[in-house]
């Protein structure tokens, strides 16, 4: 098997590699393979920048509030205790001496603060997502690379996301509950034993005729194992 210009060479023919649509459909059918990057560092950096922006706006607001309190103006002195007076500071017919800087800054902060808090909650929720087990990532990668299965070969900077994974930055939307479900553990052990026997069988210089006639022995991997155990594992 070799990479060709238009696909993968398979016995003289070519199977065009598939992409995001095939991978997305597979993840939808087998949620255990829905493994994505958290982009934790980028998310934290975004929060830091939003935080810095809000801190700057907060300092501006405190400055305007103090100026209004010290203004000796009948309306501006009441901004801190009367929303109606503060709200009217932007009106075209506001009395001379009114200053709308405090209200305008408050309205900017309101929008920025909402976005910041939403981002903060999303960051926390993403951080709480469980990491995938190595078997999940390996099984997904094997399915993608096998021409007889996914034959998915991405060409962008994300092409090695599952091949050379950073597990600390990966999130699994459906992690296998091995600890909480002993059946999955037993199934995994059985599959591993079966695959070990298959490797031994395939290494034999001769094959028993009755086995060849019954069924050609092949290792079990995703998605077959998902159907058996309810979770993606690999040998």
* 205 within a domain of the structure (yes/no): yes
Residues 87 and 153 in one domain: no
Q: What is the C-alpha to C-alpha distance for residues 60 and 215, in angstroms, rounded to an integer?
A: 76
pTM comes to 0.69
The answer to whether residues 172 and 131 touch, using CB atoms and an 8 Å cutoff, is yes
Residue 106 lies in a domain: yes
Domain presence at residue 136: yes
Q: For residue 49, give the nearest of 104, 127, 112, 124 by alpha carbon.
A: 112
The mean of the pLDDT values for the chain is 81
The answer to whether position 161 is within a domain reads: yes
Separation of alpha carbons 179 and 185, rounded Å:
8
Tokens in use for 69? 């309190």
145 and 70 in a common domain: no
pLDDT of the residue at 231: 39
| Calpha distance 169→82 (Å, rounded) | 49
**140 and 161, same structural domain?**
yes
Shared-domain flag, residues 136 and 186: yes
User: Considering the domain boundaries, does residue 119 fall inside one?
Assistant: yes
At 5-48, the pLDDT tens digits run 344 444 444 568 899 999 999 999 988 899 999 999 999 999 99
Q: Are residues 103 and 152 in the same domain?
A: no
Q: 34 and 103: one domain?
A: no
- Choose the final residue of a domain: 105, 128, 151: 128
**Is 182 exposed, middle or buried, given 0-12, 13-18 or 19+ CB atoms closer than 10 A?**
exposed
Last residue of a domain, one of 103, 128, 153: 128
Q: For tokens 């405190």, what's the residue?
A: 62
Same domain for 210 and 176: yes
172 and 215 together in one domain = yes
Tell me whether residue 53 is in a domain.
no
Range name among 23-37, 89-103, 156-170, 202-216 with the lowest pLDDT average = 202-216
pLDDT digits (tens, 9 = 90+) for 194-223: 666 766 766 777 766 555 554 555 555 444
Is the pLDDT assigned to residue 229 strictly greater than 70? Answer: no
Tell me the residue range of the domain where 165 lies: 8-38+131-229
Q: Are 174 and 202 in a shared domain? A: yes
Q: Is pLDDT at 187 greater than 60 in this prediction?
A: no
Note whether 99 and 118 are same-domain residues.
yes
Write the CB contacts of 149 (distance below 8 Å, at least 6 apart in sequence).
Answer: 142, 143, 223
Using an 8 Å Cβ cutoff, are 173 and 36 in contact? yes
What mean pLDDT do residues 54-58 have?
Answer: 98
């Amino acid at each position: 098997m070799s990479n060709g210009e238009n696909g993968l060479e398979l016995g003289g023919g070519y199977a065009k590699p598939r992409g995001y649509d095939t991978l997305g459909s597979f993840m939808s059918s087998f949620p255990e393979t829905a493994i994505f990057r958290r982009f934790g560092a980028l998310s934290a950096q975004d929060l830091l920048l939003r935080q810095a922006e809000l801190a700057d706006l907060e300092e501006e607001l405190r400055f305007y509030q103090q100026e209004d309190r010290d203004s000796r103006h009948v309306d501006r002195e009441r901004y801190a205790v009367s929303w109606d007076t503060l709200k009217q500071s932007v009106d075209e017919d506001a009395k001379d001496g009114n200053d709308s800087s405090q209200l305008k800054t408050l309205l900017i902060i309101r929008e920025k603060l909402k976005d910041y808090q939403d981002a903060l909650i999303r960051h926390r929720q993403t951080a709480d997502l469980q990491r995938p087990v190595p078997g999940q990532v390996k099984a997904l990668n094997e399915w993608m690379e096998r021409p007889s299965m996914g034959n998915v070969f991405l060409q962008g900077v994300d092409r090695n996301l599952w091949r050379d994974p950073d597990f600390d930055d990966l999130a699994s939307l459906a992690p296998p509950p091995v600890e909480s479900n002993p059946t999955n553990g037993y199934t995994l052990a059985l599959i591993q034993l079966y695959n070990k026997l298959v490797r031994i069988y395939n290494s034999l210089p001769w094959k028993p005729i009755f086995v060849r006639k019954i069924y050609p022995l092949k290792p079990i991997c995703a998605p077959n194992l998902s159907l058996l155990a309810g979770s993606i594992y690999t040998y």
